Structure 1
Amino acid sequence: MSDMMENKGVVETTDSMYFAPLLPWQQELWSQLTQRVLTSQQSLPHALLAAGMQGMGKRAFVWRFVAWLLCHERDRHPTGACTKCESCQWLKSGTHPSLQVLPIACMPTGVDHADNTEKLSSKATDKKNAKAVSSSTLKIKVDDIRALQPFIYQGGQGMRICVLDHAEQMTVAAANALLKTLEEPQAQVHLFLMSDAPAQLLPTIKSRVQQLALQTIESTVAVDYVTQALGHTINREAVSTAAIEQLIQLANGAPLAAIAMAQAPWYDKRALWLTTWQALRSGKRSSVAASDYWQNQLDVKEFIQLSEMMLLDLRRVCLGLSALQNDVNLTAILDVYQPADSGLVAFASSLQEGKTALQQNVQEKFVYDKLMQELASL
């Protein structure tokens, strides 16, 4: 992933997970899949994979499609689940007998700002549950897959759907257990795998699923969507088409990620980050003073996000590539001073160490102090 944005509104309830408006760049794929189901000319693939970077809306698409497949009135509602039948009511209450989700933490439950990039939220990205949810919570273990077997093989119970989110988190044993299900498809049983890192999936898994074409978004469609969603302003400042295009480029072409970035508290502090770096490097400000100042500006996790973005562009320019950010004076600064590549690598390592420390409940002040010391030596 929240204060999740729809075209002009905010998602606030669980049922929005399943009944939200279709994203513009998903129209064609939606039509193709629903027509396959409605015309019965081609059966729906037994297993589908929604994969790719965050911010493309893959989870939004899958949950909407799951709701439509299960909807008792889908023949009369080709554009989305009816929201009123018994099946839709079960989804709203989170008690659908024909839907199983792994990990349990990823069952749609509400909204969360952290998952803006995927349009939908889950317990796995809910800030209220962030401390309780770790990477280990997202692990899909062999016992989890085995526990699905009775549901999958019960037979004669109508359509049944299994959703495996963060599928790359399957252990090897779990993936091997899943292979049996993929190799022996059951009538009316459909599996949906979702992954932000499909390269981490076992090749044997990827070879037995059909990937959904969700990754290609025309630039004009992305620009229009982001512009409409932001209402022509970023942090109350008028936004140009160039600024929108920069956001989309920084987000690797993912519109939802671009919107989340524009609304992130750190995005308008990129020039301030450069000023702090220069002040630290020249000795005009101490790392302690900088740490104290930034603790009043941003949550340390947000500062790490900001630093990762700035580090990305620093490395690009140092390698002779053009900067992605044209609204800050990064290139001018690097014309005067370029940090050593070893320093950039060390700072990147420090950012990762900071993330790990926060997961281990290290106090934010200590993480901030350490990062400012490292930034001063960059």
Structure 2
Amino acid sequence: MTDDIYFAPLLPWQHGLWSQLTMRVSTPQQSLPHALLAAGMQGMGKRAFVWRLVAWLLCRTRDEHPLGACGHCESCQWLRSGTHPSLQVLPIVSMPVSADSAHHKEAASSTAKEKKSAKAASNAALKIKVDDIRALQPFIYQGGQGMRICVLDHAEKMTIAAANALLKTLEEPQSQVYLLLISDVPAQLLPTIKSRVQQLALQTIDRAISLDYVTETLGSTANREAVGTDAIKQLIQLANGAPLAAIALAQASWYSKRALWLTTWQALRSGKRSSVAASDYWQTQLSIAEFIELSELMIIDMRRVGVGFGAQQKDINFLTALNDYKPIDTALEAFAHSLQQTKIALQQNVQEKFAYDKLMQELADL
């Protein structure tokens, strides 16, 4: 399966870093740091880089394949099956799946109910505890077993006790043992952890490269809407410069409904439409999670316009929509907080219809 994350093509903005790291491994006088941190916002491709590096480091024929693992040797086959004896990953729910990973593909055929339950369980389990770190010790200190790799995904989810337990391993590096940490929120990592790892330079992406990549990717997909240069630039801006996040945004089912959201708010505020009717309609259009994502983006620009800044979404006329009435910023902030609280409530199995009805009523009151 050539589309597995371990063997996916290297992203264009990662070639320089890849060459630096692989050259260090291949040069006798140099070596790879025993602890690396891939950090930064989602959508920069840091996980894709780490899994590709893991596969290459473990590949039996890597000297013959400097651009990535061969995909065919015994090690690569172990990775495909999710049974590699020289790889440990925490937390368990972070093991790669489909486009972001390589294991448990049966999850893709789960029913909607199963997916929702799995997501709730995943969110609950997404924590690295001290016992998880301690369980790695035999693997790390077994010695004489060749290269061994530990990947700590969502490293910011480590408890204080887990982080302190990891420090000992970082302070006493073992031969041929590599620790790869991945974090979306590196500010939440303990300073003592960050001081003992080398951060990978994955966050800076040339704008031209990003623009070309997003344009080419969207142009090759079935969804060919709004892929002009201005639209691409807006997507990248909304995604804070993260190319993969920009692509996901363009392909999100809710992105094309932004103007409709604004029209709905105007109709609710003017009393031309009831919150119940609006809720019933939107439930046929988007899941509550998608509606929340849409609402969060719209609220950001409503707040920007309200305080005199321009909207980031240039293809929607916020000025006209807010010409006669601008919600006060505290009300918009309260609605944004309610969106966050609704996310939490949904993880506790609150019915989507109830959540939709509540949000529509609050939207009408803005």
Return the TM-score normalized by structure 1.
0.91
Name 1:311's counterpart in structure 2. 299
CA distance in 2, matches of 1:325, 1:238: 13
Shift of 1:129: 4.2
1:49 aligns with 2:18: no
Per-residue CA shift, 1:126-172, capped at 9, x if unaligned?
77544233433110000000000000000011100000001011010
Aligned partners of 1:235 and 1:33: how far apart in 2?
Answer: 36
Give how far 1:342 is off. 1.3
| Aligned pairs for 1:9-24 within 5 A | 13=1, 16-24=4-12
From the superposition, tell whether residues 216 and 314 of structure 1 become closer, same or farther in structure 2 (CA, over 3 Å).
same
Aligned equivalents of 1:148, 1:130: Cα separation in 2: 30
Aligned AA (1:42): Q
Aligned-residue Cα RMSD (Å) equals 1.8
- Tell me the CA shift for residue 233 of structure 1: 7.7
Bigger drift between 250-259 and 35-44 goes to 35-44
**Which residue number in structure 2 is paired with residue 79 of structure 1?**
67
User: Match of 2:338, as an amino acid?
Assistant: S
Q: Which residue of 1 aligns with 2:134?
A: 146
Stretch of structure 1 that moved more, 191-200 or 38-47: 38-47
| Residue correspondence of structure 1 range 178-193 to structure 2 within 5 A | 178-193=166-181
Question: Aligned ranges for residues 31-70 of structure 1 at < 5 Å?
Answer: 31-70=19-58
188 and 249 in structure 1: CA distance in 2 versus 1, 3 angstrom threshold: same
Which residue number in structure 2 is paired with residue 325 of structure 1? 313
The match for 1:334 among 322, 340, 351 is: 322
Aligned to 2:154: 166
Determine which of 114, 117, 121 is the counterpart of 1:131.
Answer: 117
Name whichever of 88-97 and 231-240 sits farther off: 231-240
Matches within 5 A, 1:1-378: 13=1, 16-111=4-99, 119-120=100-101, 129-132=115-118, 133-231=121-219, 235-378=223-366
Gaps of 5+ in 1: 1-12, 112-118
Q: Displacement, 1:313?
A: 0.9
Q: Is the 8 A contact 1:46 1:185 kept in 2?
A: yes
Q: Secondary structure at the match of 2:89?
A: strand
Rounded to whole Å, the distance in 2 between the matches of 1:245 and 1:239 is: 9
The 8 Å contact of residues 249 and 324 in structure 1, kept in 2 or not, is answered as yes
1:102–1:165 CA contact under 8 A, matched in 2? yes
CA distance in 2, matches of 1:104, 1:180: 22
Within 2, Cα distance between the matches of 1:121 and 1:267?
28
Secondary structure, in 3 states, of the residue corresponding to 1:335?
coil
The aligned length equals 358
The answer as to whether partners of 2:80 and 2:102 remain within 8 angstroms in 1 is: no
Structure 1 residue 239, shift from structure 2 partner: 2.5
Task: Classify 1:142/1:267 alpha carbon distance in 2 versus 1 (closer, same or farther; 3 Å).
Answer: same
Tell whether the 8 Å contact from 2:41 to 2:185 is kept in structure 1 after alignment.
Answer: yes
Q: Secondary structure at the match of 1:67?
A: helix
- The one-letter amino acid of 1:69's match is L
Cα distance in 1 for residues equivalent to 2:31 and 2:190: 25
TM-superposed CA distance for 1:353, in Å, is: 1.3
Q: What TM-score does the superposition give when structure 2 sets the normalisation length?
A: 0.94
In structure 1, the residue corresponding to 2:151 is in which secondary structure?
Answer: strand
Inter-partner Cα distance in structure 1 for 2:21 and 2:76: 20
**Change in CA separation of 1:191 and 1:215 when aligned onto 2, cut-off 3 Å:** same
Quote how far apart the aligned CAs of 1:232 are: 7.0
Query: 1:240: Cα distance to partner?
Result: 1.2
For structure 1, which segment, 358-367 or 100-109, has the greater mean C-alpha deviation from structure 2 after superposition?
A: 100-109
Q: 1:293 to 1:261 in 2, by over 3 A?
A: same
Change (3 A) 1:25 1:236: closer
CA contact 1:234–1:262 (8 Å) conserved in 2: no
- C-alpha deviation, 1:331, in angstroms: 2.0
Residues 277 and 234 (structure 1), Cα distance of their counterparts in 2 relative to 1, 3 Å cut: farther
**Could you say which residue in structure 2 is the equivalent of 1:10?**
none
Change (3 A) 1:101 1:191: same
Deviations 1:82-121 (A, max 9, x none): 111111111111111100000111112334xxxxxxx557
